[in-house]
Structure 1
Amino acid sequence: MPPPQSTPLPPPEQLRAALARDGFVRIPHAFSPEDLARFRTAAQHAAARARAGQWPFVRTVPKQFPPWPVSEATTEGIWGMQHLLHPSMADEDRRVFAESYFGDTMVAAVTALLDCKRGDLVMELYNMLVCPPKDFALRWHRDDIGPDVPPDIELERLQEPMMHAQWNLALYPDSSLVVVPGSHRRSRTEKERNADPFEDNMPGQMTACMEPGDIVFYNNNILHRGVYDRKSERMTLHGTMGLQGADPARSRNILQHGIGDWAGECDFSDLPGEMATLGREMQGRLIGMGRGKDVGFSQQE
């Protein structure tokens, strides 16, 4: 049986309804086998460099949140690498990553989900999640709401309007993301608050299974975790795009990763057609958020 070709995006209203209801939505076969082949080649080059200790922006085992001790990349291993659009990325690989980020498929999906125009978008993070050298799991969390926040404040934060889109784009089969559907619309239950951080059977949990070329968009404050199997190849592009006018909490969530230190050095002039213009415009809006010195971190561990 031939591999599936890319498929048209579902109607915007359908995408928004699913994301609002469940806290995540999967777009199957969003990219063609030809696109996937290019993305995989760039990802393999980048991952090999990071695992060899030749890339300073990595997520090291067993730490879940930034900052990560880069010195442990070759001893403990990595479960992700940061800043795929960084100007020191190998030129061809950086161009491929940029095309997957600023290209029509991703931008069309993001603008549909956020019900916005291309001119509203802000360049944010683009990273890659990879299989570590040992089995590894993240604890249950919301990306920007800490575990000790009381229920009333938690609910207040969850009711804030969506000012960004966050996604996983699978280059290989991926069953790492585990979510509790609908948990982005309510405070945690007492059971969720008191559960073991690595609970394997959280009530209502499900695995967001992905095939190569699938994109899963999810609300970053849905209750979720990652479970990584060292025996399964994993290269999943993990990105975010924002909207102009984000609040300070959103700015901290992005700038805490150090992107403000190098965003101004990016040159997207080698991208094809309107992609180059869009890249420069989105880059400018990110730079307008500031460099992020002393913003602190969204989570502590």
Structure 2
Amino acid sequence: MSHQSTPLPPATELRASLARDGFVRIPNALPPSDLARFRTAAQHATARARAGQWPFVRTVPKQFPPWPVSEATTEGIWGVQHLLHPSMPAADPVTALLDCREEELVMELYNMLVCPPKDFALRWHRDDIGPDVAADVELERLREPLMHAQWNLALYPDSSLVVVPGSHRRPRTEEERKADPYEDNMPGQVHVSMEAGDIVFYNNNILHRGVYDCKAERMTLHGTMGLSGADPARSRNILQHGIGDWAAECDFGDLPGEMVMLARGMQRRLMGMGMGNGRGVGFSQQD
């Protein structure tokens, strides 16, 4: 299937879809020329990580940070961390989804999800709400204003993300609470199918999981941008990945024109989250 970049849908349409379903797909975000360039860079980064030459990885079979880097060459990886680059085609959709200005954006995470050496699945979860919270607490957290946008950008066809549409607006049902963490047939679940070049934005507290086929080529860029003024829980959710150890050193001098100012502003707001470099903030979830 050939891809051409397409205009961004109206901001009101994007926000309505995200609010209703908890996710929204934007097709053909990258033209073929960009896909080829990104694939080459992604293949190089993945090869380095699998060879133990890049220390920031997600190792099999662990779902949440911290990940034991020592197991990258023995157990294999399912993600490459810290590929932060604000020139990705995400700033415009993020400002549309969050109804904000670029001057309010915070640099957050930018990683890549890759195929593991063996079939591997994540359990059902919400990124920053643990599985043991009571329904009333869960609902209170879900009602908090959306202060970030999280996305997957596929460089190859990808249907690894599985979601329960609308679950970002309600507590889990009794059936969902009692379900096996790796349930393959959760009521209402949808596999979010992406063609190469598509972006899916989703609320990270939608009920979701990842199911990864080791035989399918996968290089999906995975990132977040947030808004300044987020609460400490959001800061922890970002800084637990170790980004505070190095983000201040990024220069961004190679970016063109106005992109430099955007990147440095996002960097400044990240470092001003009020938690220093993020060491000792703890982790949102454990496994």
Q: TM-score, normalised by structure 1?
A: 0.93
Task: Determine the structure 2 residue equivalent to 1:291.
Answer: 277
Note if contact 2:119-2:213 (Cα within 8 Å) is conserved in structure 1.
Answer: yes
Task: Name which of 227, 232, 244 aligns with 2:216.
Answer: 232
The whole-number CA distance in structure 1 between the counterparts of 2:92 and 2:127 is 24
Amino acid at match of 1:59: R
The code of the aligned residue for 2:191 comes to T
2:87 to 83, 102, 105: 102
Q: Select 1:271's aligned residue among 250, 255, 266.
A: 255
- Ranges in structure 1 where 5+ consecutive residues have no aligned partner: 86-97
Tell me the residue number matched to 2:117: 133
Deviation at 1:102, TM superposition (A): 2.8
Aligned residue for 2:7, secondary structure, equals: coil
Amino acid in the other structure paired with 1:33 = P
- Per-residue CA deviations over 1:136-156 (Å, capped at 9, x if unaligned) read 000000000000000000000
- AA aligned to 2:283 is F
The amino acid of 1:285's aligned partner reads R
Which of 210, 218, 240 is the matching residue for 1:256?
240
Asked if the contact 2:3–2:197 (Cα under 8 Å) also holds between the matched residues in 1, the reply is no
Aligned equivalents of 2:266, 2:149: Cα separation in 1: 14
Secondary structure of the 1:102 match is: coil
RMSD: 0.8
| Conservation of the 8 A alpha-carbon contact between 2:163 and 2:208 | yes
Q: Note the residue ranges of structure 2 that are not aligned, 5 or more in a row.
A: none
Matches within 5 A, 1:161-172: 161-172=145-156
User: What residue identity is the alignment partner of 1:112?
Assistant: A
Map of 1:88 onto structure 2: none
Tell me the residue number matched to 2:101.
Answer: 117
- With the length of structure 2 as denominator, give the TM-score of the two structures: 0.98
The offset of 1:4, in angstroms, is: 2.1
Structure 2 residue identity aligned to 1:149: V
Summarize deviations over 1:101-130 as a string: whole Å, max 9, x none: 335x31110000000000000000000000
Rounded Cα–Cα distance in structure 2 between residues aligned with 1:114 and 1:19: 10
Structure 2: distance between partners of 1:171 and 1:65: 24
Q: Does the Cα contact within 8 Å between 2:35 and 2:197 map onto a contact in 1?
A: yes
Paired with 1:201 and 1:33, the residues of 2 have a C-alpha distance of 35
- Residue 220 of structure 2 aligns to a residue in which SS? strand
Say if 1:102 and 1:278, in contact at 8 Å, map to a contact too: no
| Of 102, 108, 126, the match for 1:142 | 126
Question: Which of 216, 221, 241 is equivalent to 2:225?
Answer: 241
The ranges of structure 1 where at least 4 consecutive aligned residues each deviate by more than 6 angstroms after the TM superposition are none
Encode CA deviations 1:212-251: one digit per residue, 9 max, x unaligned: 1100000000000000000000000000001000000000
Count residues in correspondence: 285
Distance 1:230 1:42 in 2: 21
Deviations 1:181-205 (A, max 9, x none): 0000000000000100000000000
2-side partners of 1:223 and 1:163: how far apart? 18
